[in-house]
Each structure stands twice: as C-alpha cells, then as structure tokens.
Amino acid sequence: MEAARRVLGMLVVAGSLLSSIQMLHAQEVKGAAEPTEHGGLADFIHRAPPQPTEIWLRAAGGRIYDNWWDALDRKKPESTHPAYPKTGKRTGANTWRCVECHGWDYNGKDGLYGSGERYTGIKGIRRAAGRDVNRIAALLRAEPHSYKQEMINDEELRRLAIFVSRGQDNADRLIDLKTGNTKGDPARGAGLFQTTCAACHGFDGRALNWGTVKEPAYIGTEANKFPHEVLHKIRNGHPGAAMINLRGFPLKDTINVLAFARTLPSK
C-alpha cells in the first residue's frame, strides 16, 4: 500500500510538471502569459524585478532594442517612423524597431545591413558603447528617434540606454559576416543547450516552429540563416515570450551554444 501511494504521488508530480511545461510552450508560442495572483510568467515577460540587477537591465534593454512593444506589452505603432529613410524597403511598425536600422550586429550600414533589403544607410550604435547612459536616453527621446513616454517610459528607456552603453556584444571576430560560421565549440555549447534551451526547444531544436510545416523555422534553421539575430536572442531573450536568456554567462559560452545550434536539424 505504501509503495502504491508513492507511485501515485510521483505520477501526480509528473503530471503537474508536464502541464507546467506545456503551458510554458503555449505561452511562448503565443508571445504572452496570463497573469496570476503573484504575476508569474506575465511579470517575467513584461515587468521588472523589485531590485533589477545590471545583468537583468542589459538583457531587458536588449529585448526593447529588438521589439519594444512586444517587450513592454504596448500598442504596436501603425505608421512608418518619420525618420525612416525613403530609400528603405520597410514600412509600418517594424521601422520603429531599433534593430531595423542598426542591425543585429549593431554595426548598421557598416555591417550586416551594408546592403540588401534592410539597407538604410544609417550607422550602427557601436560608437555609443561606453557613453553616458543619461545622454543616450536623452538622444532616444529626442528627434530623430522620437520615442514618446506612452511608447517607452523613462525607466524603460534607461534600460535601453544601458544596453546600448554596456550591453552590446562585439562578436565581429567570432561570427564570419559572409558565411555565418562561428568560432565556437559545439561540444561545449551542447551541454548548455541541453540543460537550458532544450526545456522549450527540445533536444533537437524542433519542439517550436516559427515557420510552416512545409517550410519550418526551427532553432537549427534560424541559427544557420541568421546567426547574429539568434545570438542576440540567446543573450537577451525574445520579446513577449517566456524565454530564458544567457546574459549572465560569458559571451564565449553563448557563442558555443550558437555553434551547437547550427548543427541542429533545419528541416
């Protein structure tokens, strides 16, 4: 009888854990989480901890750089940014994303966005690394950036400024701009991936699909097509999703994770 009770208890715990994991997957796919009595995942996705650490602030700023309205649970812009170049090929909300002009490698016209459909002729943010956070925040509030309070409030804008000043990862020597090949160790990256990322993405990286059945977009797909973007999300998380980030780890560790991700199935 005692053994049967233990087995029953284990099944209940396992069922509860499975339900929690399934809920986490569903919320990541939808990009939002239902609030609970104590905030729960909704707080993790859109809010700040009571005493934010420097590591958290940098990662939070990185998500705002990626897509501020998803990161902050704000209304998506409907118009094209007034300062977006007329020669650019984007329109609407995406033109309000920092990354759309300054790039996933933060080099703007001198890096990934030096040509192609995302070329704007706008320089990157690399020169702003190390600059005064308050000055950066003031520049983001003024023209041509023009981020209003109702879009990004002062506290949130400071997170973005902290990312620009102290959170940029210089991976120029670690990721080949033309081939995307990384100077990482897939074997070392596998250990981190299997004990963290795999909780949601699966051991083969195919538990989540951002594409379609015919044209899937798995971790392996994205890491091979867009290594700089995937690195940014590994370091900072994905806006509006209950995704962990590895901002607290050395850059080399996350490069190793990226190197391993590039070995995963793309179809």
Can you tell me whether residue 6 is helix, strand or coil? helix
Task: Please say whether the beta carbons of 56 and 30 come within 8 A.
Answer: no
Tens of each residue's pLDDT in the chain, 267 residues: 444 444 334 333 334 433 443 444 444 444 444 444 445 788 999 999 999 999 999 999 999 999 999 999 999 999 999 999 999 999 999 999 999 999 999 999 999 999 999 999 999 999 999 999 999 999 999 999 999 999 999 999 999 999 999 999 999 999 999 899 999 999 999 999 999 999 999 999 999 999 999 999 999 999 999 999 999 999 999 999 999 999 999 999 999 999 999 999 999
Per-residue pLDDT at 39: 59
Closest C-alpha to 204, from 128, 252, 216: 216
Per-residue pLDDT at 41: 87
What Cα–Cα distance (Å) separates residue 81 from each residue in 64, 151, 196? 16, 13, 37
CA distance 231 to 186: 14
Ordered by where they begin, the domains of the chain are: 54-167 (no CATH), 186-261 (1.10.760)
pLDDT single digits (tens) 27-68: 444 444 444 444 578 899 999 999 999 999 999 999 999 999
The DSSP letter of residue 166 is I
pLDDT single digits (tens) 225-235: 999 999 999 99
